[in-house]
Amino acid sequence: MRESGCKPDGCEMDVGSLSCGYYKIKRVYYVDCGEPGKRSGESTDTAWKRCADDYNCATTCVNNYYKRFSHGCNVAGTCQKMARIHNGGPHGCEKQATIDYWNWVKSCCQCS
């Protein structure tokens, strides 16, 4: 929610692809989290954008993503794992590039 200012602000370009909603969820992330809230006959693109702008659906997606990819993460603390996986993908815990994001989350949210 760092990037969205805690509000559903649609989609914007981010590192070459769209990031949408409360958590700035990318399409591939939505697919990897199990496409929560997708309705019968609905396209993945439509479901992803709608879910990303719905706080409960987007939160479900982030939690599903974390559950799917947190097992190989060997950093201390659930908050750090979640932040770095969310920011850096399935191997986010191993990426130096996610440390700045983690430091921001840590200072903003007082978590460890």
- 60 and 79 inside one domain: no
Q: What is the CATH number of the domain that holds 42?
A: 1.10.530.10
pTM: 0.86
Residues involved in catalysis:
3, 14
Domain enclosing residue 104, as ranges: 72-112
Q: Considering its fold, how many domains does the chain have in total?
A: 2
Q: Is 21 helix (H, G, I), strand (E, B) or coil?
A: coil
- 63 and 76 inside one domain: no
Residue 52 CA to residue 83 CA, distance in Å, equals 17
For residue range 40-90, list pLDDT tens digits in order. 999 999 999 999 999 999 999 999 999 999 998 888 888 899 999 999 999
For residue range 83-111, list pLDDT tens digits in order. 999 999 999 999 999 999 899 888 877 77
